[in-house]
């Protein structure tokens, strides 16, 4: 890509040997080589003669002579008002390196993608970029100079105070700023937390099944033995957790991923009792609890027992994944180890971004954004429910009371993979439930059976696309049944 410079042109590496021949000839030779090797691309502007002369410590006349020689040879063009630029000289420039070979695209996915039911992506068109720009500008204007150095290892004190206040207010939590560590998103926070558990003698963790498969990969990378725990219509099966021998569990209690169920009240009490009985730890993935429609908010487990729960949150679902900001709220006995994990592996999230998020949240702009998108997601959820009932009949959708995704149960005997492949030929992408199954520990063992289903994310598609996608899925189910 040609770089466009405002003034003066780019810096350019030219190394002169002042004891080995005329300097002008050396500059010419190095510029020619840079053009031939395409380190300077066709159309790219060269430094101004004044700037290059100052950088190299030579007279401006020397550089003017060099440019005139390169113009005469056809390597560069010079025009009043646009400076000196590399000419298009395909006969003298080495051919561009071959483009990476394209990954073969299966015939089933060759059609242009029209509807993407991707899970976990919010509406990227509604990200409050004007508010974020204001917050970044305000952070740049007001942040004390002293805070432009290395931050507190736990992260911005300001953001930790704001995040924990928000968690107490909106999620019924009980954490204070000293219980929080700011991280670069959920995955980083989970990695630090799991490493900390291993240091404290916890080596087996229970994971929801079905659930995010990446949780299994991250746990095993941290050296933990991960075991799947079944999920039913009341959430994670605590009795099966007891039987597993695990001393830690990672779950999504407010809106289970991917089934969408909320952890029932008795299960919540049983889970906390289990943690006390085994001296265990509950890791709470609080990923989309802000989006609820037909039921009262479900409070954070961290507020139910702050000594046994590590709560992990981020703004990836509420704002955008690109923000890369999250937090870990942990009991005091784990905070030091989590901070040490962060110190050894990361310099943390950018300080100005942390300050901007704190300003966004404490000025009410964050809450205002959530209220707006919550109503938008509710409308999409309603359209999804209507279209699924028309296409598949009643009772096929699960997890509609909250969040930005739902689970569509397919007719008995359906092949998830066949439906997904057929839908792709119609420009619709959707994930099978099998992508969320956690492998059972031990050779030859298989996860417990689960009815065929698809996971439908509706955060980043509009109502028209929802209608289009569900009708295509109905056709895909019919066609795959005929195979």
**Residues 339 and 406 grouped into a single domain:** no
Instruction: Kindly state whether residues 343 and 379 are assigned to the same domain.
Output: no
Residues 72 and 139 in one domain: no
- Together in a domain, 197 and 88: no
CATH code of 462's domain:
3.90.1150.10
Is residue 447 a part of any domain in this protein? yes
Whether 234 and 284 share a structural domain:
yes
**Angle, helices 186-199/332-345, rounded to nearest 10 degrees:** 120
CB 155 within 8 A of CB 183: yes
Buried-exposed string 103-122: b where 16+ CB fall within 10 A, e elsewhere = eeeeeeeeeeeebebbbbbb
Tokens of 406: 């739902």
Cα(322)–Cα(186) distance, rounded to whole angstroms? 12
Residue 425 maps to a domain? yes
104 domain residue, yes or no: no
Inside any domain, residue 102: no
Mark the ranges of the chain whose per-residue pLDDT is less than 50.
Answer: 2-6, 91-110, 442-444
Contact between 276 and 240 under an 8 Å Cβ cutoff? The reply is no
CA atoms within 13 A on the CB side of 52: 27
Residues 461 and 347 in one domain: no
Q: State the residue range of the domain holding 28.
A: 1-97
How many independent structural domains does the chain possess?
3
Domain boundary among 306, 335, 363: 363
Residue 439, in any domain of the structure: yes
Cβ partners under 8 Å of residue 25, min gap 6 = none
pLDDT of residue 89: 60
Cβ(339)–Cβ(153) below 8 Å: yes
Given a contact cutoff of 8 angstroms between Cβ atoms, the answer to whether 259 and 407 are in contact is yes
Instruction: Report the CATH number at residue 289.
Output: 3.40.640.10
Cα–Cα distance, 313 to 251 (Å, whole number): 13
103-119 tens-digit pLDDT? 343 444 445 889 999 98
- pLDDT recorded at residue 96: 44
- In 258-351, the DSSP E strands lie at 281-285, 309-314, 326-329
For residue 120, the model assigns a pLDDT of 86
Q: Are residues 220 and 355 both part of a single domain? A: yes
Whether the upstream peptide bond of residue 77 has omega within 30° of 0, thus cis, is no
Q: At what angle do helices 60-73 and 49-56 cross, to 10 degrees?
A: 120
Beta strands 326-329 and 397-398: pairing type? unpaired
CATH of the domain at 6: 1.10.10.10
Q: What is the pLDDT of residue 359?
A: 97
Taking alpha carbons only, the member of 148, 150, 197, 157 closest to residue 341 is: 197
Is residue 119 a part of any domain in this protein? yes
Statement to judge: residues 329 and 457 lie in one domain: no
Residue 11 CB neighbours (<10 A): 11
**What confidence score (pLDDT) does residue 234 get?**
94
289 and 152 in a common domain? yes
The pairing of beta strand 281-285 with beta strand 248-251:
parallel
Of 346, 363, 380, the domain-final residue: 363
- The verdict on residue 395 lying in a domain is yes
Q: Indicate whether 440 and 301 sit together in one domain.
A: no
205 and 333 in a common domain: yes
Contact 255, 403 (CB under 8 A): yes
DSSP 413-473: T--HHHHHHHHHHTTEE-EEGGGGPPPPSSTT--PPP---EEEEE-TTS-HHHHHHHHHHH
Could you say which DSSP state residue 148 is in?
A: G
For 14, which DSSP code? -
Which pLDDT does position 97 carry in this prediction? 45
**103 lies in some domain:** no
- Which pLDDT value is given to residue 43? 83
Among the three residues 342, 363, 384, which one is the final residue of a domain in this structure?
363
Q: How far apart (Å, rounded) are the C-alpha atoms in residues 158 and 153?
A: 13
- What b/e readout covers 246-259, taking b as 16+ CB neighbours within 10 angstroms? bbbbbbbbbbbbbb
276 and 234 within one domain: yes
């Amino acid at each position: 890509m040609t770089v466009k410079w405002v003034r003066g042109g780019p810096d350019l590496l030219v190394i002169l040997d002042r004891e080995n021949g005329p300097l002008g000839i050396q500059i010419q030779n190095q510029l020619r080589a840079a053009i031939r090797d395409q380190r300077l691309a066709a159309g790219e502007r060269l430094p101004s003669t004044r700037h290059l002369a100052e950088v190299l410590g030579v007279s401006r006349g020397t550089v003017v002579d060099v440019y005139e020689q390169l113009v005469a040879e056809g390597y560069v063009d010079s025009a009043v008002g646009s400076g000196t630029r590399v000419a298009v000289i395909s006969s003298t420039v080495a051919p561009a390196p071959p483009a990476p070979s394209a990954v073969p695209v299966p015939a089933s996915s060759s059609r242009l993608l029209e509807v993407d039911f991707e899970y976990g992506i919010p509406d990227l068109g509604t990200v409050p970029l004007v508010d974020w720009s204001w917050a970044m500008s305000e952070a740049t204007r007001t942040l004390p100079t002293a805070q432009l150095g290395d931050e507190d290892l736990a992260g911005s004190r300001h953001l930790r105070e704001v995040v924990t206040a928000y968690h107490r207010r909106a999620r019924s939590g009980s954490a204070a700023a000293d219980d929080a560590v700011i991280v670069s998103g959920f995955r980083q926070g989970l990695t630090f937390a799991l490493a900390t558990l291993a240091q404290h003698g916890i080596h087996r963790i229970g994971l929801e099944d079905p659930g995010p498969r990446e949780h299994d990969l991250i746990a095993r990378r941290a050296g933990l033995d991960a075991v799947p725990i079944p999920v039913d219509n009341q959430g994670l099966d605590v009795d099966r957790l007891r039987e597993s021998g695990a001393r830690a569990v990672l779950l999504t209690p407010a809106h289970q991923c991917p089934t969408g169920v909320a952890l029932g009240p008795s299960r919540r009490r049983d889970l906390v009792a289990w943690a006390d009985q085994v001296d265990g730890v509950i890791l709470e993935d609080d990923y989309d609890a802000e989006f609820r429609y037909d039921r009262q908010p479900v409070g954070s487990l961290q507020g139910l027992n702050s000594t046994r729960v590590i709560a992990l949150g981020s703004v990836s679902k509420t704002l955008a994944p690109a923000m890369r900001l999250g937090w870990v709220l942990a009991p005091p006995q784990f905070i030091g180890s989590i901070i040490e994990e962060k110190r050894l592996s990361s310099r943390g999230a950018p300080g100005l971004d942390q300050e901007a998020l704190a300003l966004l949240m404490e000025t009410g702009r964050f809450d205002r954004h959530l209220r707006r998108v919550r109503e938008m997601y509710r409308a999409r959820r309603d359209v999804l429910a209507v279209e699924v009932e028309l296409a598949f009949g009643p009772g096929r959708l699960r997890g509609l009371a909250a969040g930005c995704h739902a689970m569509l149960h397919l007719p008995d005997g359906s092949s998830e993979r066949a439906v997904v492949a057929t839908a792709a030929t119609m420009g619709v992408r959707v994930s099978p439930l099998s992508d969320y199954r956690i492998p059972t520990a031990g050779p030859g063992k298989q996860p417990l059976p689960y009815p065929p289903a698809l996971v439908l994310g509706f955060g980043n598609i509009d109502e028209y696309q929802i209608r289009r996608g569900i009708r295509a899925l109905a056709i895909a189910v019919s066609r795959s049944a005929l195979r």
